[in-house]
Structure 1
Amino acid sequence: MASTLTSKGQVTVPKAVRDLLGIGPGSKVDFTRAPDGSVVLVRADDQNHVSLFAQLRGHAGKGLDTDAILALTRGEP
């Protein structure tokens, strides 16, 4: 993925990268230099970023047990 640097030194972070890092408007990012000389963009406001899966886990409320699901699929009351 490539972005173009503006005359003000700004660059647009591609959506796929923003989604991966979980960042949006107002998020803090940090640029670190890796041992191989490359520069790495990391989320600075939450170094222990929790995955989207972990954030959503347990938010569906109380689920149905197996017997209830089978009864629903069979059309039983």
Structure 2
Amino acid sequence: MIAMTTATLTSKGQITIPKEIREQLLLHAGDKLDFSLTEAGDVLLRPVTRRVDEVFGRLRKPGQPALTPAEMDVAIHQQMKKSAT
């Protein structure tokens, strides 16, 4: 799905990224973003890739039991099998 929204540039050169875009990119306060200008004049906005220790625990949901690395591997492999079929 392609999202298209507008934002207003402030006198200080700041914008608020619309909620729909923040949610799609899993952005949170303090996240870093890269802006690139293409030859066609389009601007690309990309979240900066983070190290695992910077996002550790972000995906945990309240009440969800913690998984061991081995349990995570099993879940990943199961999901990959589902996606392949």
The reply to whether TM is greater than 0.5 is yes
SS at match of 1:4: coil
4+ residue runs over 4 A deviation: none
**Structure number with larger C-alpha Rg:** 1
**Does 2:10 align with 1:6?**
yes
- Unmatched segments (≥5 aa) in structure 2: 51-58, 68-85
- Distance (Å, rounded) in 1 between the aligned partners of 2:11 and 2:41: 25
Would you say the 8 A contact 1:28–1:43 is kept in 2?
yes
Out of 32, 35, 44, which is 2:36 matched to? 32
**Partner SS state of residue 44, structure 2:** strand
Using the aligned pairs only, state the percent identity: 37
Q: Which fold has the larger relative contact order, with Cα–Cα distance below 8 Å and residues 6 or more apart in sequence?
A: 1
Distance 1:33 1:20 in 2: 21
How many residues of Structure 1 are paired with residues of Structure 2 in the alignment? 51
**TM value normalised by structure 1:** 0.55
